[in-house]
Amino acid sequence: MGTPEFPDLGKHCNVDDCRQIDFLPFTCDRCNKVFCLEHRSYTKHLCPNANQQDVTVLVCPLCAKGVRLVPNEDPNITWESHVNCDCDPSNYQKATKKKRCPVPGCKELLTFSNTLRCRDCTKEHCLKHRFGPDHKCPGPKKQDSGFRFVGLLNRSQKRESPSNNCSNGSSWWGSSLLTAASNLRASAEAGMQKLSDATTQALQRAKDGTAPSSSGGALVEQCTQCPARFSTVSALIEHAEKSHQRNTQPVHSRVMIDVCPKCSRGFRDPVLLVEHVERDHGGSSTA
């Protein structure tokens, strides 16, 4: 076997029925035996350690987790160890429930690369239905620009209307609170409008050059609501904010007192009356 120059060249195949001399033999990495070209595979020479480095994973039907089978160990023992230690049935919904496009008839899975969120309805859709007409987008939500207290009173009146339909005190209470809130809003808007007018007039005078220079001390800026005069526009604006901002509300809105129909307690703010009725009388205004 071999040549004088290479005396160790070539080996016999370890298969009993073959025993062929191969000058380029193959060594099995599992059983470390030498085989010829024909018997080099695991199945050809029936290697006993063929599955020694194999990785077999079973998916648990209870928790949807992968259970790796340990070589040279009974699969029943591996499964029992997983059920007693690592199995968590609550993970099944997280692993199996996939997020899909909400458009009816579309079964596209929403992944990281094909998901877009609509700016108007804030819902996630696939690339095919990313535009508003494709997923019938209702559009952006309209913001409520109305008076906050009026909306609060309307909701309170709707909650109490089914149980107090036959009560005259409930209707009077709701109408009086709505009237007070409307008067408060009107007085606030009137005051802001007057203050804005005074500020606009003062700024216009400054632009027209009627305001005095920094060196002069003449009182040329006159208040539109009182005889007071000032030398600068900033002093006039400061006077209007301090003296006339609170005095712009009507007299009846400042002295109006709403009486609780349950305990005859008076309140200046209608919102405080609503909170008092809901907290102390359980939301019922019937006497």
Q: What is the pLDDT of residues 206-233, one digit of tens each?
A: 666 554 444 445 666 778 778 788 877 7
pTM of the model: 0.28
The 3-state DSSP class for residue 201 equals helix
88 pLDDT higher than 80? yes
Tell me the mean pLDDT in the region 133-160.
66
283 pLDDT higher than 70? no
Q: What is the pLDDT of residues 168-183, one digit of tens each?
A: 555 555 676 777 777 7
How far is residue 209's CA from residue 203's CA, in Å, rounded to a whole number? Answer: 10
- Does the domain spanning 1-47 belong to CATH 4.10.1110.10? yes
Q: What is the pLDDT of residues 18-41, one digit of tens each?
A: 988 888 889 998 888 999 999 988
The neighbouring-strand residues paired with 109 are 100
How far is residue 256's CA from residue 97's CA, in Å, rounded to a whole number? Answer: 60
Where are the domain boundaries for CATH 4.10.1110.10 in the chain? 1-47
pLDDT of 35 reads 92
Nearest to 212 by CA among 196, 235, 187, 240: 235
The 3-state DSSP class for residue 205 equals helix
Give the number of other Cβ atoms within 10 Å of residue 66's Cβ. 10
92 pLDDT higher than 80? yes
Q: What is the pLDDT of residues 96-141, one digit of tens each?
A: 777 889 999 898 888 888 899 998 888 999 999 989 888 888 888 7
What separation in angstroms does the CA of 238 have from each of 83, 153, 241, 242, 245? 77, 36, 5, 6, 10
159 pLDDT higher than 60? no
Burial class (CB in 10 A: 0-12, 13-18, 19+), 72: exposed
